[in-house]
Amino acid sequence: YGSGEAQVVALRDVSVEFTSGVLTAIMGPSGSGKSTLMHCLAGLDTTDRGSVSIGESTITGLNDKALTKLRRDKIGFIFQQFNLLPTLTAEENITLPAAIAGTKADPEWVRRIIDTLDLADRLDHKPTELSGGQQQRVACARALASRPEVVFADEPTGNLDTRSGAEVLRFLRTSVDEFGQTICMVTHDPNAAAYADRVVFLADGQVVDDMQDPTAEAIIDKMRGFERLAYTSTEGEDA
């Protein structure tokens, strides 16, 4: 981003794979590049070099029309701000991507997601009539309604209280364990990341560590290590 002395390199020589049917958390200090990595993986940002593939589809170099179709057919999104359309009901928000594509979501599949998320009695409510946790559950249902190859979740619990956040995380865990969904989740919360099968750690735009079967305590210890390294590096620069 930028040029000359103002240039910022958000990602440096990142090479990483995310396994199908696994919940992976992406973590790192502020400014480490984790959101940029997610945006590149999801085709929301373009890379300067290298390539990005989802399944058998290489998304690097696709034109806008092809990229839009790939995102619509193969990718689900869950954002911190919910991103629901305020004029639509919960049910209409859930089925909106299929409606835009001119297709119809599998009603049995959508009903299964709705039941799992306990949204059946909220389908005719508009977003302003729902709590934050309910809005995020609607966003989760929307993301999975098309059975995407991968769901990207960017700080999905960032705007939620502890109880609502735990409900969303349990659903993400269930969607992997019972539905076989693939999920990549950016989070700064060790407790949220502990729901994952794997944590990929970024620092200064690079993948610096990889943890399987994480616990919140192990994640906190790892993050403290990154903070100590950053502090030591800063001291060296000052000297």
Enter the pTM of the model.
0.89
> Pairing mode, if any, of strands 75-79 and 57-58?
unpaired
> Does 1 have pLDDT greater than 90?
no
Q: What is the average pLDDT across 162-179?
A: 95
- The per-residue pLDDT for 76 is 94
Sign of CA dihedral 68, 73, 75, 76: positive
Mean pLDDT value across residues 27-35: 90
pLDDT at 99: 87
Q: Average pLDDT over the chain, rounded to whole?
A: 91
pLDDT reported for residue 7: 87
Return the percentage of the chain with pLDDT > 70, whole number. Answer: 95
Secondary structure (DSSP) of 145-181: TT--SEEEEESTTTTS-HHHHHHHHHHHHHHHHTT--
Q: For each of the domains in the chain, give its residue range(s) and CATH number, in order of start.
A: 4-54+64-82+148-238 (3.40.50.300)
Q: Are 214 and 196 in contact (CB under 8 A)?
A: yes
Average the pLDDT over 59-64 and give the result.
Answer: 90
> pLDDT at residue 230 above 50?
yes
DSSP states along 53-64? EETTEE-TT--H
Average pLDDT over residues 17-43: 93
Specify burial of residue 57 (Cβ count, 10 A radius: 0-12, 13-18, 19+).
middle
Dist. CA 34–CA 56, nearest whole Å: 24
Measured CA to CA in angstroms, residue 155 lies from 50, 81, 165 at distances of 26, 9, 10
- The pLDDT of residue 229 is above 70: no
pLDDT score of 179: 94
